[in-house]
Structure 1
Amino acid sequence: MGLFSFLKKKSDPADAELVVLDTRLRAGEPSRLDSEAERERQRAIARATAAKIDEIELAMASDIFDDEPAWGSAARHPAAAAPAAPQAVPAEELPDAAALPASAPAVEESAILYANGQAAAAESLLRDSLQDFGRHERLPWWMLFDLYQATGQEAAFESIAIDYASHFETSPPAWQPLLPGPGTPQSAGVAATESLCPVLDESIAPRLARLLASNAPLVRIELGAVRSADAAGCAQLLQALQTLRKEGRELVLAGADTLMTTLRPMLAVGDRASGEAPWLLLLELLLLSNREKDFEESAMDYCVTFEVSPPSFEAPKRVSTAAPATGSGDRFLLPALATGDCAALLDAIDAYAAGRDLLVLDCSRLARMDYACATALQGRLRVHTEQGRRVELRELNHLAAALLRLLGYGQETGKLRDSLRLYPHRY
């Protein structure tokens, strides 16, 4: 209770009674609150009063100090904060409809520099902007995070993440490199997508069967909604992931961290009650996420628990991770680099659009798009919106989103106003 401490009335009845009680007890005088029930009632009144003041303070503090856009990093506020009220629309469903702040030349210039392949110049400009524009706006920080992840600068990312967490008093983002791993193709294509239910059990079999039977070269599995799991569901998902990996299919795992967080409480060293499937699924997810150190530690725990040799780590190929996103249905996955002559990419998008009313372009692995490709893509997408289709660019990094905003993406008027929307990923 800080903001309203000066507004408290000296004659607050509950406070007055507690003060009198404390004075009488210290003086050895008898108190009228002799019964334990009466004392507990007064404590409850005091606690309720304090909680109400704290609730009002929290609401006012949020109104005053929270400058984050609606689609921003609401999930990364400190855990000590009061639970957020349910929202009618999830934050990740809100598009990047808001315009850039009135004075953001560093954002626009750095987006253009980065698009043209001048990452070092863009980095320098963004870092300089942190001292003024970045003191109150998070966008230049987010753009730096994406730049470092796109260029593989993990040490610089971790350094700026610590400064970000300290400055905004929020949790720092996790390192998720955008660079394609060894053996990961640069091609684009339709991704067969399935979102698994909140309960990971045997009911997931039809969804996994569809993915395995699909002819799509790219497969995306949404795991971010899973909140509980049983041995049967873990075994089925494990088998599907291993099959996809052995077949060499290109795989995108969205929300893998969420599922691992769900699995870990089920597993205790020396306790075999959960069975081997959840353990092996956790190890498979760690392998596919290329987290070798965590894999080795969990493999040792598995070895001790079941007294068997643990599986060995094998660097994943043709596998990438992404943040969880809502929405089902097949997506068109953009390549890591969209530069130069992108006629083949545009033709592939046209083929994907045939017979669809909604085009979802998955940008989760898009590290950079240059000015020429962005302009050509805008022209081709405008043809689709004029034909009545809706277009969504999902999970854009903030450098690409700034470039597309600068080019006027999503700013059409009239019937086309809501036909093309940008959805940057969240920090």
Structure 2
Amino acid sequence: MGLFSFLKKKSDTPADEELLVVDTRLRAGEPSRLESEAERERQRAIARATAAKIDEIELEMSSAIFDDEPAWGSTARRPAAAAAVPEPAPGLDELPDAAAVPATAPAVEEGAILYANGQAAAAESLLRDSLADFGRIERLPWWMLFDLYQATGQGARFESIAIDYASHFETSPPAWQPPPPAQDVPQLTGVAATESFGPVLDGGIAPRLQRLLAAHAPLVRVDVGAVRSADATGCTLLLKALQTLRKEGRELVLAGADALMATLRPMLAVGDRTAGEAPWLLLLELLLLSNREKDFEESAMDYCVTFELSPPSFETPRHVSTAAPAPVAGDRFLLPPLALGECAALLDAVDAYAEGREILVLDCSRLARMDYACATALQGRLRAHTEQQRRVELRDLNHVVAALLRLLGYTHDEGGAGIRLYPHRY
């Protein structure tokens, strides 16, 4: 609740006055009425309800503010007055190409080249050195380091700079998302099955969920960012589908989880069983898949108090990652974790995927590294598709690979259409 931290400084609210009275009574040796279990539970419920409401408002405001930020890598800053009264956020289709602006610091370009050549340690050193100057005002080198550490499995270093990032920018740090197991790497390529849900989550989603469960695809993407209302039936169906995908060990990308959780939370209140168990259990599943153990445990306790039942146990998710919602529906082509060399087989598979499509969406959520040779070959092949008036998008790029593709001129196609790059959001 960073946007509302100023609320903590006020002392003239009824709640603060009540706490002041309690503190005065305690100093005087009088018994406090908060000592009773019922009163403590009442205060706890009020606090949680208030926090949930503030989280919901903050999510909407932070989304609007983020969408109105200058393009990534730009040194332009938005005036302070604009932050106080944000303009309505544009639709996702109207957002500028976040990766189209060239990098503004040599460290960004050199770090991207070093990493593409397999020199991760040298790239890391260069990017870390840039945090003291370029990184003081820009977040891009931080994001590149986060992605480098995640791609190379350096969890301890990730957590270390996450603390510095949160302190410097006064915002929540990104969550650690470990890379997929090495034994699964060769299988992660091909057409990925995708379904988007919303604005209503109800019984009508059953056929699309069945399609996902039956799909023989290397990866399944579930986008719930457009959901604005839900009923018990829809929550039950989605919950069972997500649990099945997780227990089967299927590769899963969950997009828009925060938006769906913001929709579910106002439906839930501690001690109130009106909404039924399904929305509570779906919220817990979304927290588990997002690897938010602390939030999971707190919500699990609320579920236990409300239904007097043992809550589910937290299990660290495997083969699961989260992403921002995307405006383009339909199946995607999943790029492999490593794209190296001339990559002729990969390029032929992309061509096969393109047949009969007007929009090509390459899913880069599992792409850890692409070298110069493959990036150049892929650019030539994709340019041929843009010349045929096809729209080409690379979605959920990590920021190190995105910096390399910008440097190669991916977004400045001579044909005018260009190739759109969409790095994932932090």
SS in 1 for 2:252: strand
Is 1:226 matched up with 2:227? yes
Counterpart residue type for residue 102 of structure 2: L
- Deviation readout 1:273-310 (Å, 9 max, x if unpaired): 21111122122223333444544443343333323333
Aligned residue in 1 for 2:171: 171
Is 1:302 matched up with 2:303? yes
Matches within 5 A, 1:104-123: 104-123=105-124
Does structure 1 retain, via aligned residues, the 8 Å contact 2:197–2:226?
Answer: yes
**How far apart, in 2, do the equivalents of 1:318 and 1:177 lie?**
10
Please list every run of 5 or more consecutive structure 2 residues that lacks an aligned counterpart in the other structure: 1-64
Is 1:375 matched up with 2:372? no
Does structure 1 retain, via aligned residues, the 8 Å contact 2:194–2:221?
Answer: yes
**How far apart, in 2, do the equivalents of 1:305 and 1:278 lie?**
13
Aligned residue in 2 for 1:345: 346
**How far apart, in 1, do the equivalents of 2:121 and 2:345 lie?**
29
Aligned residue in 1 for 2:421: 422
Aligned residue in 1 for 2:142: 141
**How far apart, in 2, do the equivalents of 1:217 and 1:142 lie?**
27
**How far apart, in 2, do the equivalents of 1:161 and 1:203 lie?**
41
Matches within 5 A, 1:101-250: 101=103, 104-168=105-169, 170-177=170-177, 179-181=179-181, 184-186=184-186, 187-250=188-251
Aligned residue in 2 for 1:319: 320
Does structure 1 retain, via aligned residues, the 8 Å contact 2:412–2:418?
Answer: no
Q: 1:419 to 1:290 in 2, by over 3 A?
A: same
Q: Percent identity?
A: 74
**How far apart, in 2, do the equivalents of 1:155 and 1:203 lie?**
44
Aligned residue in 1 for 2:96: 94
Does structure 1 retain, via aligned residues, the 8 Å contact 2:399–2:423?
Answer: yes
Aligned residue in 2 for 1:8: none
Does structure 2 retain, via aligned residues, the 8 Å contact 1:92–1:326?
Answer: no
Does structure 2 retain, via aligned residues, the 8 Å contact 1:360–1:391?
Answer: yes
Does structure 1 retain, via aligned residues, the 8 Å contact 2:193–2:332?
Answer: yes
- Deviation readout 1:18-39 (Å, 9 max, x if unpaired): xxxxxxxxxxxxxxxxxxxxxx
**How far apart, in 1, do the equivalents of 2:73 and 2:127 lie?**
21
Counterpart residue type for residue 126 of structure 2: L
Q: 1:84 to 1:303 in 2, by over 3 A?
A: same
**How far apart, in 2, do the equivalents of 1:183 and 1:313 lie?**
25
SS in 2 for 1:193: strand
Q: CA deviation at 1:84?
A: 1.7
Does structure 2 retain, via aligned residues, the 8 Å contact 1:253–1:321?
Answer: yes
- Deviation readout 1:10-69 (Å, 9 max, x if unpaired): xxxxxxxxxxxxxxxxxxxxxxxxxxxxxxxxxxxxxxxxxxxxxxxxxxxx9xxx9832
SS in 1 for 2:175: coil
**How far apart, in 2, do the equivalents of 1:182 and 1:231 lie?**
39
Please list every run of 5 or more consecutive structure 1 residues that lacks an aligned counterpart in the other structure: 1-61
Q: 1:268 to 1:181 in 2, by over 3 A?
A: farther
Does structure 1 retain, via aligned residues, the 8 Å contact 2:202–2:230?
Answer: yes
Q: 1:250 to 1:164 in 2, by over 3 A?
A: closer
**How far apart, in 1, do the equivalents of 2:246 and 2:108 lie?**
39
Q: What RMSD over aligned residues (CA atoms) do the two structures have, in Å?
A: 3.2
Q: CA deviation at 1:373?
A: 1.9
**How far apart, in 1, do the equivalents of 2:359 and 2:142 lie?**
32
**How far apart, in 1, do the equivalents of 2:168 and 2:178 lie?**
25
User: When the two structures are superposed, what TM-score results if normalisation uses the length of structure 1?
Assistant: 0.73
- Deviation readout 1:87-141 (Å, 9 max, x if unpaired): 444488321364325x522111100111122222111111212223333333222
Counterpart residue type for residue 105 of structure 1: P
Q: 1:243 to 1:166 in 2, by over 3 A?
A: closer
Q: CA deviation at 1:248?
A: 4.3
**How far apart, in 2, do the equivalents of 1:294 and 1:194 lie?**
26
Q: 1:91 to 1:119 in 2, by over 3 A?
A: farther
**How far apart, in 1, do the equivalents of 2:385 and 2:225 lie?**
30
Aligned residue in 2 for 1:330: 331
SS in 2 for 1:305: helix
**How far apart, in 2, do the equivalents of 1:309 and 1:185 lie?**
37
Counterpart residue type for residue 301 of structure 1: D
Q: Which moved more, 1:243-252 or 1:397-406?
A: 243-252
Counterpart residue type for residue 306 of structure 1: F
Q: 1:369 to 1:291 in 2, by over 3 A?
A: same
**How many residue pairs align between the two structures?**
356
**How far apart, in 1, do the equivalents of 2:356 and 2:205 lie?**
27
SS in 2 for 1:240: helix
Q: CA deviation at 1:331?
A: 0.9
Counterpart residue type for residue 230 of structure 2: A
SS in 1 for 2:395: strand
**How far apart, in 2, do the equivalents of 1:231 and 1:92 lie?**
33
Does structure 2 retain, via aligned residues, the 8 Å contact 1:67–1:137?
Answer: no
SS in 1 for 2:385: helix
Q: 1:128 to 1:185 in 2, by over 3 A?
A: closer
Does structure 1 retain, via aligned residues, the 8 Å contact 2:323–2:424?
Answer: no
- Deviation readout 1:227-254 (Å, 9 max, x if unpaired): 3322121111112223333444332111
Q: 1:87 to 1:298 in 2, by over 3 A?
A: closer
Does structure 2 retain, via aligned residues, the 8 Å contact 1:201–1:229?
Answer: yes
